[in-house]
Structure 1
Amino acid sequence: MNHSQPFVRTQMLEAKEPPLAEKGVVKWMRENLFSSWLNAFLTIVSILLIYWVLDHLLPWMLGGIWNADSLSQCREIRDSLYPDGRDVACWAVLSDRWHQLLFGFYPPELYWRPILTLVMFGAAISPILFNGVPRKLFILTAIAPFAAFWLLWGGSVWMPVVVALGFVIGWAVMKFASMPLGSLVATILTILLPVAYWLFLAGPLAGALDAAVPVGIEAVQTDDFGGFMLALVIGVSGIVLSLPLGIVLALGRQSDLFIINKCSVAFIEIIRGVPLIVWLFTASLLLNYFLPPGVQFDIMLRVIIMVTLFSSAYIAEVVRGGLAALPRGQYEGADSLGLNYWQSMQLIILPQALKISIPGIVSTFIGLFKDTTLVVFIGLLDPIGLSNSIRASTDWNGIYWELFIFIGLCFWIFCFSMSRYSQWLERKLHTGHR
């Protein structure tokens, strides 16, 4: 027998490329688009539908007219460029009225103020949203709300300074009165003292300071606000204010104190049981009847208050769901460490509950921002209200799609950005069960 022929391979074969169907784009299409006959059929139908939509939409959009002073002039230019009678978009309405859609009737020479406010707000929230931002920017975070109010509305600089002093009073009471008075009494005083200060002392003090040292910029009335600036002011204010209030309401609903629990439950259920448009009409028409004689609230301030209260009720339920999702052992672990109620909530319970609640919280914020369009029913000119005003003019009477596409695109950019940040934050914090 010949034993010179080896039966075990002494060297490895060279690696061969995988089959064409198992790599690259072909593999992806086979797994995601044509994995079965039903998926293949749906893919083909979807491609045909997308092609039909784009075939009709792209020529209308890309062949649009940007330079015209009115809809009739836009049609004349269209007829001269396209004798075949093709229908194209009249984007000239955006070139002519973009400033109204963005800023409403805000004075054009003061556009730098809302732009500066937007930049400042972005810098102020950056240390909250991202870890790599210098922590020193938290100083700007604390100053930004009052500086934004002063930049947008103008007037005396002392009013936002005096209002900010109320928060300093509340912080001082909480810091120095907790030990001698107890946490519950200190919490109540932290709320009541600043409110009393704002109601009775803030106005006279701001007037006295302004008379002694008049410092200010040109005032702008609320009636001049409009467009996306109005939507951003109401939406951002509601988002920023409703989150902490919603957390407090969620904790109040789970409190063992009877009065706090029942008041929180009543507030949440009453607010959530009535549509937002009803609360907006209440803020616009009925709120002044419940105020002392001679007291007038700015219409936008009333809307911001109602939007904040409405959103906070929904945030409270979302956060309560996050609290309920935590195992009982987390609460018992906090107690075993000797932490008091506020320490356990701050260090152990709320961080986990808020991490679980991220999708619901961001979804509520997106809904709140889109619901700012409802203010058109109480006379505020948001983008939808301004589009109606633009179409009511003789120059642009009869134009629809161009305005609504632009408005929808702007809303989509803001909402999609919030959604993507939510998904990034979930991945960063590993939200979910693993």
Structure 2
Amino acid sequence: MTSPLRKHPEKYKDEFYEEIVRSNFFRSRNLALVLFFLNIFFFLSDLLNYKEGLWHIDVISGYMVLFCFHVILGVFSLVFLILSWVHRLKSEDQKITRWHAFLGTLFSCFIIFTSSCISINDQLLHSQITAFILGSIIIAVNNYMKPIMSITIYAVSWIVFMVGITLLQSNLDVLKGNYLNGILLIVFVWFLSYTLYNMKIQDFINQKTIEQKNREVEEYNNELIEINYRLKESLQALDESQNVIFTLASALESKDTYTRGHSERVANYALQLAQILELSINEQQTVWRAAQLHDIGKIGIPDAILNKPGKLNNYEWEIMRSHPEMGENICSTLSFAKDFLPIIRHHHERFDGTGYPDGLRGEEIPFLARIITIADAIDAITSQRSYRPSRTIDYALEELAKGKGSQFDPTIAQVFIDSFNYA
């Protein structure tokens, strides 16, 4: 069965094996500490057996050999604890060395082989293999081992166990039972070790996946924060630029007392007409802004021409006709105005193609520009100018009706007329 770790980057493998070594080192140290204190009770039990005459130092017996194994286990646990303290890991990010890997592997091998030997000796005492069972299961649960390493250790310990009990166990029925139990034990502990190892791999992969997702979310949040910051700056700049340009529009109207408030009224007419036509909110906002700035180009027209009480001559008229293009140029550097630059440029085009500056006709003229043309004409007629008095709205509607198809879009003009007649 293929390890799930193979599907992931090489760096994950290195991190995983380092985590395994670190985990085995700490677990082995803790288990060695437990075994060292348990060994004290084993020694007390051996002393009781000695006092009862179950074994003697000068006579080799099962209890005497068991005492020797307890001595070996105690000495090994103490030495292991000393080595683990010498090579202790002082922090989580401290680099793992070969010593840490060696100590973890050594501890696993020692416990399994020692428990195997104790169970072999137990054939002389109780005909049991309890120590081998406990030692194998404890290591399978306590330490993570690669499948090839675990099957090698368990197989060698099983061979040692089988040879030992064969030599020492004279009861064939017990021997057969131990053969069967030994085989089942090795299969079980290897499968348990293999399962726990792969669960650890999966847990590690899930952990890394979560960490990766968290990093991605954090990076995404940082990007959103940066975008939000830039957006705030852009909106602030937009507000400032709009304020500047609308201030210029107000400054323009202050040059001519007769046209003061003209852009505001044109914007209101245009917005009213856009709402009647059921245009989108975005289009309504666009037409309102464009109407506010439709005459901004007049700021470049000399006051003498702008406020001349009489009729303009040809030269003056050419200068006056340049204000839509000048307005487009003024607003061209403003990001918020890019959607309505054509409206500013073409609000003086006529439906029959005789308007300016480009002589567009019919559907060639932007739709919103045709709306502003009507709103501009209505306010111009109903407002007092230096060369004529103001006219009534009824008069303006009559002029609008006369200009349908020539100066104005006939459909939009009729909608505007109908809205006033209905009112």
- TM-score above 0.5: no
Q: If the length of structure 1 is used for normalisation, what is the TM-score?
A: 0.24
Structure scoring higher RCO (CA < 8 A, sep ≥ 6) equals 1
Q: If the length of structure 2 is used for normalisation, what is the TM-score?
A: 0.25
Larger Rg: 2
